[in-house]
Amino acid sequence: MDYLRNLGSALVQKSGLNLPFTLGQKVLSFEGLYSLYDAVKREDGSNVSVFEYDLSDSTRPNFKAFAQNALKKLRTIRHPDVLKFIDAVESDTSIFIMTERVQPLSNALPTWISRSSQEREEWLLWGLHRVSVALTFLNDSCTSTHGRICMQSIFISPSGEWKLGGFELLSNIKDDTAILYNLGGAFPSSFAWASPEVKKGSWSSLKQYDSVALDSYALGLLLHSVFNPNHAAPETSLPPHPPPTAASRGSIPASMFNAYKRLLNPNPKNRLNPKGFLDLGMVDTGFFAANRLVKVCSGLESFSIASEAEKNFLLKTLKESASSFPSEFTTHKVLPSLVSALEFGGASAATMLPLVIQFGKNLPPEDYPKAIITPLIKLYASPDRGTRMALLDNLPEYADKLDKKTVSEKLFPHLQTGFTDTVAVIREATTKSIDLLAPKFTDRILNNDLLRLLAKMQMDPEPSIRTNTCILIGRLGPTLGYNTKRKVLVPAFTRALKDSFVHARVAGLMAFMATIDCFEAEDIATKVLPNVTFTLIDKEKLVRDQAFKAIELFVKKLEEYAKTMPATGSTDTAIPANEPAGGAFPIPNGLVNSATGAAGTLAGWAISSFGKRLAPSDLQTSITAGANAGMNQLSNTNMPGGFSPHTGESANKTSTQTIPEERTPNSVASGTGKALQLGGSSKKIANTNAVAQFAKELEDEIMAGSDNPWGNDDLMDVNADQDDWSAFETASSPQPQPMTNNNSLSGSRIGTPKTKSLLSPSSIPRTIPVPRATSPAHSTRRATPIQSPPTPVIGEWNENDDWGQGVLASPDPKLVQTPAVLMTKEEKAAEMARRKEERKQRIAMLKEQKKNAAKVS
C-alpha cells in the first residue's frame, strides 16, 4: 500500500499540477475508469476523498465524457444525501474530484457481518431510506435519471450515512444529447442494472418512458444485493422476468417484500417508483417509519422547531437506546446535532448535555477538545440557568480534559458569575465545582480572586453553602501560597467555628485538622488553639467531641515540637538538625483523630444541597448578579452564629473593652501612672467630643470595608521576587517590646470572658477597641473589628481591674527600627512624614486634655 501511495504521489508530481490536497492510501479502483484515494486537504488538514479519472488511454475515448459528466453534475447538484463536492482539478490526462471523506458501500458491508442481525437490518433500512430520498430528489426536482444505481455508486460517510454518487451517466430527460441515451451501453458493467425494456431494446428506448423507470428497477436490484450480498442476481432480472418468490426473499424484511416485488415489475408503466417506495415506508406502520435511526435523524433535523414534548421524546429515545446505536452514528451524526441544539439552552439542556458527554467518549483523544470542550466552554457564557446547571452537574465527566489556559482565560470569567447568582442552587453548584477546577487555576486566581469570592460565600444565607465553602477552603489550603495560608486559613476556619449551623462548625474543626501541616508550631500555639478552645464547651455534643480530638491532635504536634526546643531561652535558637524537613512533625494515626482522617473526610461534602435541582420557574431564567447577590437576604435570614454583616463576630459573644488613650513614650515606659488611667482620677478626664468624633470616623471605615470579611488588601503580592505571595510589599511587622507582666495572655484570646489580652500587631492585625462618647465614669463600648487602623493606640485597663496595669497596644515608633533595606527613599520619606503627623496629633490631644483638666480643677 505504501508503494501504491508513493507511486500515486509521484505521478501527481510529474503532472505538474498544483493540487489542493495530499493523496493518501488508495481505497478502490473501478474498471479502470477511476481510482478512489483517502486524502488530506492542504488548506485546513481535514480528511477528504479524491476520485482520480485517468484520461491518458486513447483506446477508451468515452471515459473522458463519463468523467466530465460526473464532474459537471456533482458540482451543480447539492443535497444532504448526495456526495458532497469540495473541489476539482482538470488536465488533459486526468481529472481529480475532491469530496467529503467516504468509503465504498462494498467495503463497508463486510464490517457489519459481526454485528447483530437487528442492528445490521436497521442500518441497511436507514441507508435505503436515504438513497430513496436522494433518488426522489433527482427524479422529481431535477427531472433526471441517475442511470447507475448499484453498490458501486453508494458511498458511506464517517457517520455511517449513505451518500449517492456515481454521476457518470446522470442525464436530464429533456436533453436529447444526454450521455445516458447515447453512451449508456458503453459504460463498464452497465448491463448488470439495466431494466427489461433496455435489455429488450436499447438505452435510447428510455426516452419513451418516464425518467424513473430505469432507476426504479435498479433500486429493486440494489435492495436485493445489500440484504443478500452472497446471493446471485434474482431470476426476475433475466427473461422472461418471473416475479420474485417467497423462497428467494433471503434476508429481505417481510414488511418490505411486497414493495420489492413492485420495484422489479417488468412493465415500466406498472413499476413502483422511488417516491412511491418512500411513501410506503413512511406510513405509520411502514418499514422506514418504524426504524429507530430514521426516526432519530428526522427528529434531529427538525429539533430547533420542534415542541418541548417532541424534544423530550427524542431525547428520551436517545438516552434509552444510546448503547444500541452504531458508534459511528452517535459520534458523527447525533453528537454534532446535539451540540448545535445546546446553543439554544432551555429546560432540555439538562438532558442533552449528559448525552453529549456520553456520545463524546467514543471520539479519538485528538478530536475531543474540538468536538466537545470548545462548544461546552462557549456554553458557560450563556445566561440560561438550565444550561449552567447542566454544565456544573456534569463537570466531573470532562474536567480532566480541560487545560490550564482554557480554564483560567475562558471558563473562570464566566464561572465566577455563579457565586453571586440570586438562586442558591447555582451558588452551591458553583462552589462545589471549584474543587475540580482548582488545579488548573493560575496562582493569581487561586490566591486572590477565588479567595475573595469564597470570603463572601462564607456569609451566604444558606447553611449548606457556608459549610461547603469551609470544606473547600480546607481542601485548597495546601495549594495556597505561604503568606496566603497564614493570612486566610485561620480567619476562615474561625468564622466557620462561630457559625450557627452545627455542621459548619464541625467542618471548621475538621478543616483545621486537615490543614495542620499548613501551620507552623508558633501559629498553632498562638492562633489556632486559642480560636478552637471555645468549641470545647459547644452546645452540640457532635461539635464538642470533634473539638477535643482536634485539640488533642494539635497538642501532640506541639509536644513533638517542644522536644526539639532548647532547655533554656538562650540566644541560640537554631532548630536541631534532626527536625523533620519542612517543619512537618509526626501526626498520630486514626480516623478523624488525625489530619489524614480529617483530610479524607473533607474529600466528601459535609452537607448536601437542600434543593438539588433548579425550580421549574428558574430553568428558563437568566443568571443575574448584584453587587452583593445573596447578601440582600441577610436582613430576613438568621446569620451564622449571630454574625453582623459588617463584623462577622458572634453577637452574643462580643466583649466590652476600656477606651484606649494616647500616651507619650516616657509614660509608656513606666507603665505605672494612675493619673493617665481612664476613670482612675476625677481631676483628668478626656475630651468626650474628640473621642466621639474619632469613634464616628472609625465606624465609617468599618462600613466602607464590610463587604470583604477578610479585608480589602490583596491576598498576594504580585511584585514580590522571592515567593510572590508576600502579604506586604515594604517593611516587616514590628516586634513588640518585651514585657515583664506575668498576667499577659495570647492576643488571639481577645474578647473571651474573664480574660484580658495583649494587643499586639501579630495577634490582632485589624482590630482595635473603639471608644464612644459617654460619661467619664462609664467610657466603655463593644470592641468592633475594623480594617487596617491608621494609628496605633495605647490602651490600659481600669485601675480597679484585677489584671494590673496597662500594656502596649503597639510599640512606639522610636523603639522599632524598620528595615531600611526593604524601603526606597520615597517610602522612607513617606514613613517619616506619617510619624511626624502622628506625633503632632498626640501632642495636640495631650494639650487639649490638660486644658480640660485645668478647667475642671
Each residue of 407-466: pLDDT tens digit? Answer: 999 999 999 999 999 999 999 999 999 999 999 999 999 999 999 999 999 999 999 999
The answer to whether the beta carbons of residues 300 and 337 sit under 8 Å apart is yes
38: enclosing H helix or E strand: strand 34-41
Residues of the chain with pLDDT under 50: 1-11, 13-14, 573, 575-591, 606, 610-611, 627, 629-688, 691, 704-707, 711-714, 716-821
pLDDT of residue 720: 42
- Closest alpha carbon to 297 in 104, 103, 133: 133
Query: Does the pTM of the predicted model rise above 0.75?
Result: no
CA–CA dist 785, 699 (Å, integer): 10
Q: What is the pLDDT of residues 128-182, one digit of tens each?
A: 999 999 999 999 999 999 999 999 999 999 999 999 999 999 999 888 889 999 8
Instruction: Indicate the residue type of 345.
Output: G
H or E element: which one contains 48?
strand 47-54
State the number of CA atoms in the 13 A half-sphere of 148 facing the CB.
25
Report the pLDDT value the prediction gives residue 732, as an integer from 0 to 100. Answer: 41
- pLDDT of 612 reads 53
How far is Cα 226 from Cα 128, in angstroms, rounded to an integer?
9
* Residue 59 grid coordinates: 483506446
Residue-wise pLDDT tens digits, 726-735: 333 333 444 4
- Sign of CA pseudo-dihedral 204, 208, 214, 215: positive
* Torsion angle (degrees, nearest 10) of CA 845, 849, 851, 852: 130
- Which pLDDT value is given to residue 699? 54
Comparing C-alpha atoms, which of 655, 623, 657, 654 is closest to residue 641? 654
pLDDT of residue 306: 86
Q: Hey, what's the cell of 523?
A: 501559629
The pLDDT value recorded for residue 698 is: 53
Which residues is 536 bridged to in the sheet? Answer: none
User: How many Cα atoms sit within 13 Å of 190 on the Cβ side?
Assistant: 22
pLDDT of res. 759: 30
What phi and psi values does residue 100 have, to the nearest 5 degrees? -60, 155
How far, in Å, are 108, 475, 582, 722 from residue 485 at the CA level?
61, 12, 15, 16
CB neighbour list of residue 835: distance below 8 Å, 6 or more residues apart: 813
User: Which residue, among 646, 651, 611, 603, has the nearest Cα to 464 in the 3D structure?
Assistant: 611
In this prediction, residue 697 carries a pLDDT of 54
What are 635's three cell numbers?
436582613
How many CB atoms neighbour CB 226 within 10 A? 22
Please, which residues have CB within 8 angstroms of residue 181's CB and are 6 or more apart in sequence? 171, 203, 204, 206, 207
Helix H or strand E encompassing 780: strand 780-782
* Separation of alpha carbons 789 and 343, rounded Å: 51
The 3-state DSSP class for residue 497 equals: helix
Query: Environment class of residue 236 by beta-carbon count within 10 Å: exposed (0-12), middle (13-18) or buried (19+)?
Result: buried
What is the spatial distance between Cα 746 and Cα 218, in angstroms, rounded to a whole number?
A: 96
Do β-strands 144-145 and 103-104 pair in parallel, antiparallel, or remain unpaired? unpaired
Rounded Cα gap, residues 482 and 479, in angstroms? 9
Phi and psi at residue 657, in whole multiples of 5°?
-130, 155
